[in-house]
Chain A
Amino acid sequence: MGKVIKMEQKLIVDGKRLDGRALDQLRPIEARAGVLKNANGSAYFRIGKTIAVAGIFGPREVHPKHMEEAETAILRCKYNMASFSTTERNRPGPSRRSKEISKVMREALMPVLFLENFPKSAIDLHVEILQADASTRCAAINAASIALADAGIPMRDLIASCSVGIVEGHIVLDVAGKEDTEGDVDLPIAYYPKRDLITLLQMDGMVTKEQLKQLLELAKKGAMKIYEIQRQALKSKYMEE
């Protein structure tokens, strides 16, 4: 953009970021499957200070009945940020933002699901953001994907998601905290590793064609690391003993 922004604090010093990470390093991640007792499948996903909990209910009967599809199941996603998830209290209830994220999340997960196995039914996915510190939609998708597998819903692959961005001219992986609000570019993706497909791509800020290529390359690398952690989370649910 060429615009010089005056900042009190440099976000990147000597190739290190505010929280001490290298440019291509993810925040510490914790993932667990089967955390909710009453859900058919559930997951907890934490990346740095961002925490998401996902729950799957179904496949179950569709209510209201008119939403029913004769040949496939329908996937209904609900993304919600808890009112206490941000430093400034968040007004509870649906918002334009949460509706948009619910929609893109659904579209990111749909390609891997065998929804045709459960005609006339509904799979309800609820994701709650308990703590938000950038990349909440990525955390939500990661949690959702573990929860879907935990619920025993047939799927082609897991979807892994992470964000990349440009901060002070540097390409960084996993945008967090101040980098999100003060950085130049924030680009979350959801990745379908087996077919090498990107199922979600959003962006704010401006990039050149060359930068975008680099960003996507880095994002895929990050997503693959998350993919491994998701797999580990599912395995460790049954491998403890």
Chain B
Amino acid sequence: MILLNSREIIGGLNMAERELVIPGDLLGEGIAGSGTYMENGKIYASVLGLAERKDKLIFVIPLNGIYSPKTGDGVIGKIEDVAFSHWIVNINSPYFGVLPLNEAVTDFVDLTKTDLTKYFNYDDIIFAKISNVTKTKSVQLTMKDRKCRKLYGGRLIKITPAKVPRVIGKGGSMVEMIKKYTGCQIVVGQNGIVWIKGEKEDLAIEAIQCIEEKSHTTGLTDKIKEMLENGEGDKNGTKANS
């Protein structure tokens, strides 16, 4: 048990704000938030990431990881299968999403006469909201939201789901800035899929990938702003392939 004491010194009892932590690092006492776990009344980090403390709540913002569906998230998905009265949607997660007919279409549909591919066909890209996730990870989707729609054309890129908040920025500031400089339509799914459509798609993609790479550094907004300003001239006339 002497070893355990030496570990505590490594972890650092007094965490500074936003410190890089490694699984097993001691974070102190309080309420265990996401990315942490409690053992013997003390909180330890369970993922590699940046530790933060808000009042008593201690949590770790992960730097990597897959998307785990949460109720209320807006995600971009691809229709994988059309079943009798629902669609199976790939949402870039170990679990698929189910979009039932009544959550997708408002008008009356006679199932004996209509082909559901009329609404959503295989390989269609949709922006949907997660309405429910059960304990066994059955994911239900809904289109009953102002933002939900089918996405036509454009391009999709994948980013690490943990970095989605950085791409969006505080109150959507980062994504708004990219939209302003490139004139592209951009939709960011919480599941790490980004849809981009517009003239300067390449520049927008470059900017988003840059955010992903440098997401843990400070002064990110300025770096991206500079990049967008410089990249503006030479990226003109790039053909969009949808």
| Residues of A in contact with B (beta carbons under 8 Å apart) | 40-41, 58-61, 70, 112, 114, 117-122, 149-158, 193-194, 196, 220, 224, 228, 231, 234-235, 238-239, 241
| Cβ–Cβ contact A152 & B162, under 8 A | yes
Most chain-A Cβ atoms within 10 A of its Cβ — which of B49, B64, B95? B64
Question: Does any Cβ of A come within 8 Å of B116's Cβ?
Answer: no
Of A58, A60, A194, which is within 8 A of B4 by CB? A194
Q: Which of B20-28, B105-113, B204-212 contacts A (4 or more CB under 8 A)?
A: B20-28
Chain B residues contacting A114 (CB-CB under 8 Å) are 37, 46
Which A residues are CB-close (under 8 A) to B46?
Answer: 114, 154-156
Picked from B24, B35, B65, B135, the residue with its CB within 8 Å of the CB of A194 is B24
Task: State whether the Cβ of B7 lies closer than 8 Å to any Cβ in chain A.
Answer: yes
The reply on B14 being an interface residue by CB < 8 A is no
Shortest CB distance B143–A (Å): 24
| B215-235 residues at the A interface, CB under 8 angstroms | 216-217
Q: Which chain A positions have C-beta within 8 A of B7?
A: 193-194
| 23 A-B residue pairings within 8 Å (CB atoms) | A41-B64, A59-B94, A114-B46, A117-B68, A119-B135, A120-B95, A120-B136, A120-B137, A122-B94, A150-B64, A151-B64, A151-B65, A152-B63, A153-B65, A155-B46, A157-B23, A158-B23, A158-B24, A193-B7, A196-B1, A224-B3, A234-B22, A238-B216
Would A231 and B94 be within 8 Å (CB), given that A40-B66, A120-B137 are in contact? Answer: no
Q: Is the CB of B20 within 8 A of A238?
A: yes
Q: Are A152 and B94 in contact (CB under 8 A)?
A: no
CB-CB nearest 8 A-B residue pairs: A152-B65, A157-B24, A152-B64, A121-B94, A154-B46, A155-B23, A152-B62, A59-B94
Query: Is the C-beta of B127 less than 8 angstroms from some C-beta in chain A?
Result: no
Q: Chain B residues in contact with chain A, CB under 8 A?
A: 1, 3-4, 6-7, 10, 20, 22-24, 35, 37, 39, 44, 46-49, 62-66, 68, 94-95, 135-137, 162, 214, 216-217
Is B94's CB under 8 angstroms from A120's CB?
yes
Alpha-carbon gap, A238 to B95, bound state (A): 30
Residues of chain A with a CB closer than 8 A to B44's CB: 156-157, 194
A-side contacts of B162, CB under 8 Å: 152
- Contact with A119, one of B47, B48, B64, B136 (Cβ below 8 angstroms): B136
Instruction: With CB as the reference atom, state the residue of chain A lying closest to B215.
Output: A238
Main secondary structure of the interface of A (DSSP, over half): mixed
Contacts of A193 in B (CB 8 A): 3-4, 7, 24
What CA separation (Å) do A221 and B10 show in the bound complex? 16
Expressed in whole angstroms, the minimum distance between the Cβ of A198 and any Cβ of chain B is 12
Q: Which of B20, B23, B44, B136 has the most CB of A within 10 A?
A: B23
Nearest-CB residue, chain B, relative to A118: B94
Contact with A154, one of B6, B23, B39, B137 (Cβ below 8 angstroms):
B23
A152–B47 contact, CB under 8 A? yes
Cα-based distance from A58 to B23 in the complex (angstroms): 18
- Which residues of A have CB within 8 Å of B35? 154
Residue in B closest to A145 when the chains form the complex, CB atoms: B23
Give the Cβ gap from A192 to chain B, nearest Cβ, in Å.
Answer: 9
CB distance from A231 to the nearest CB of B (A): 5
Chain B contacts of A117 at CB under 8 A?
68
Chain B residues, Cβ within 8 Å of A158: 22-24
Are A234 and B48 closer than 8 Å at their CB atoms?
A: yes
Q: How far does the Cβ of A172 sit from chain B's closest Cβ, in whole Å?
A: 21
CB-CB under 8 A from A58, the residues of chain B are 66, 94
CA–CA, A70 and B95, complex, Å: 12
Closest CB of chain B to A201's CB: distance in Å? 17
